[in-house]
Amino acid sequence: MSGTAPPLWTSGEIAEATGGAASAAFSVSGVAFDSREVGPGDLFVALKGEATDGHAFLDKAFAAGAAGAIVSRPIAQPHVLVADTSEALNALGRAARARMDGKVIGVTGSVGKTSTKEALFAALDRFRPGRVHRSVKSYNNHVGVPLSLARMPRDSLFAVLEMGMNHFGELAALTRLVRPHVAIVTAIAPAHIEFFGTEEAIARAKAEIFEGLEQGGTAIIPYDSPHRDLLIDHAKAQGAAIVTFGMGEGADVRVSAAVPAATGGTLVSAHLPQAELCYTVAAPGDHNVSNSLALLAAVEAVGGDLAAAGLALADMSGLPGRGARSLIAAGAGRALLIDESYNANPLSMAATLRQLGREKAARRIAVLGAMKELGGSSDALHAALAEPLEQACVDLAILVGEEMAPLAQRLEGRLALAHVADAEQATQIVRDRLQPDDAILVKGSNSVGLSRLVAALSDGE
């Protein structure tokens, strides 16, 4: 730690928060549970999982510079001894939230969580530089959320925390840890429908985010969703103020006008309850415009600067795996690569294919990986991608994974296609067929491994 900045935690504070016993006095500047991510001055939390036990990596963590650890058995190095390290991490997260006097925004939804969280961070950080905290990566589960809280500096003025779920009750537990002043649901789609049965059930599970709202908090809800009224009813039951966002009339935060920007994004005029704002969304696609409206609603709700938010949106292009765009080698020329390889569900597939159809390109190529956790609806939902593929005027579809078989059958004879088993086979086909001025979209569930295809094309290997 440099200068006179206070430590993130002292051993005494950790012991008090967790009910543990400190072996020695120490202070830490960060928190990690993965020994590969430990840096100098960090606190290492030795979590016990189904397959691994963090206690086996204590030497590695201290060799990387850990200043102390939370453990459930005594060790020679500085530590806080607790009965259960997982519960200790939750307790540390609760203590971090309790000492934070600023405003907290919680973000959930079937699509757009991470992108919205990152954009909110950028918007608020322009307003109060260095005083905004966020969850990193997609740390949005029962481990990632308390870790993100535990990492929150004590002087944070704003925090933006992503929360995910794939079973009932998970989001309720997370939101009670986070206790947001503002809770956003970006969109509802049949992601994880295998575990819920219906899209309405998914909406009910997402609505759990409102259960942790602070008194007088604000619920930000997608007006255009067929589950809007369900979400509103759940939020009202918690005493929340309701702000809706959407692309047209009726929403509290809505688009007045939108036209394509010369840089590939969208020029937007938006109406808010207390303001009108003109801004540019750098990331192309209607779904990114919709997410920007949720962002503006949240910034206004926490007293942020809308002008700064507009500037942040103009600077934010897509994230790796979530819309990042790059030019790659293609024969004697270059091709546009759109990287959406991190995740996929029917709603996000349709949105990104719609945007692909707007790209000015010699040919449009879609590399689509299987959508996971769709249960008994999997065949029908995969086959239904035929329509957005055709509407996007896709010249070549490369389908990856056995779940894509119904779509391959639907498309047979309707457009050029290849159906392969894995990302490596897809990579070879792309290399063989890619031409200058093509636009290639790569999208699928993360477990399909299409990020390897993106990396191979980007590296020119």
Identify whether the C-beta of residue 80 lies closer than 8 Å to the C-beta of residue 91: no
> In angstroms, rounded to a whole number, what is the distance separating the alpha carbons of residues 374 and 403?
10
- Which of 291, 212, 287, 222 lies closest to 250 in space, CA to CA? 222
- Checking if the pLDDT of 6 tops 50, the result is yes
- The mean pLDDT value for 213-237 works out to 97
Tens of pLDDT along 119-167? Answer: 999 999 999 999 999 998 778 899 999 999 999 999 999 999 999 987 8
Tokens of 457: 């094309």
Binding residues for ATP are 109-115
Identify whether the C-beta of residue 415 lies closer than 8 Å to the C-beta of residue 341: no
Please give the C-alpha separations between residue 35 and each of 47, 142, 260, 360, in angstroms, as whole numbers: 11, 18, 45, 45
Comparing 65-69, 239-243, 245-249, 404-408, the range with the smallest average pLDDT is 245-249
Give me the pLDDT at residue 101, please.
95
- Which of 37, 134, 32, 113 lies closest to 319 in space, CA to CA? 113
Identify whether the C-beta of residue 401 lies closer than 8 Å to the C-beta of residue 300: no
Tens of pLDDT along 317-360? Answer: 878 888 899 999 998 999 999 999 988 989 889 989 999 999 99
Give me the pLDDT at residue 339, please.
95
- The mean pLDDT value for 77-89 works out to 98
DSSP assignment string, 43-107: EEE--B-SS-BGGGGHHHHHHTT--EEEESS--SSSEEE-S-HHHHHHHHHHHHHHH--SEEEEE
Give me the pLDDT at residue 460, please.
59
Q: How confident is the model at residue 193 (pLDDT cuts 50, 70, 90)?
A: low
- Which of 401, 397, 378 lies closest to 387 in space, CA to CA? 397
Tokens of 221: 């809800």
> In angstroms, rounded to a whole number, what is the distance separating the alpha carbons of residues 37 and 14?
20
Binding residues are 109-115
Identify whether the C-beta of residue 221 lies closer than 8 Å to the C-beta of residue 233: no
Q: Which residues contact residue 97 at a Cβ distance below 8 angstroms, ignoring those fewer than 6 apart?
A: 104, 149, 152, 177, 178, 179
pLDDT, the chain, mean: 93
Q: Per DSSP, what are the bridge partners of residue 368?
A: 399, 443
Q: How confident is the model at residue 227 (pLDDT cuts 50, 70, 90)?
A: very high
> In angstroms, rounded to a whole number, what is the distance separating the alpha carbons of residues 271 and 224?
16
Give me the pLDDT at residue 39, please.
96
Tens of pLDDT along 438-460? Answer: 999 999 999 999 999 999 999 75
* H or E, element range at 22: strand 21-22
**Please, which contacts does 423-426 make with residues 24 or more away whose CB atoms are closer than 8 Å?**
423/369, 423/448, 423/449, 423/450, 423/452, 423/453, 424/452, 425/400, 426/367, 426/398, 426/400, 426/450, 426/453
Query: Hunting for tokens 């960090």 — which residue is that?
Result: 42
Comparing 209-223, 248-262, 390-404, the range with the smallest average pLDDT is 248-262
Structural domains present in the chain: 9-86 (3.40.1390.10), 100-315 (3.40.1190.10), 324-459 (3.90.190.20)
| DSSP code of residue 385 | T
Tens of pLDDT along 13-54? Answer: 999 999 999 999 999 999 999 999 999 999 999 999 888 899
- If phi > 0 it is left, if psi is from -120 to 50 it is alpha, else beta; for residue 432 that is alpha
> In angstroms, rounded to a whole number, what is the distance separating the alpha carbons of residues 350 and 364?
15
Identify whether the C-beta of residue 187 lies closer than 8 Å to the C-beta of residue 213: no
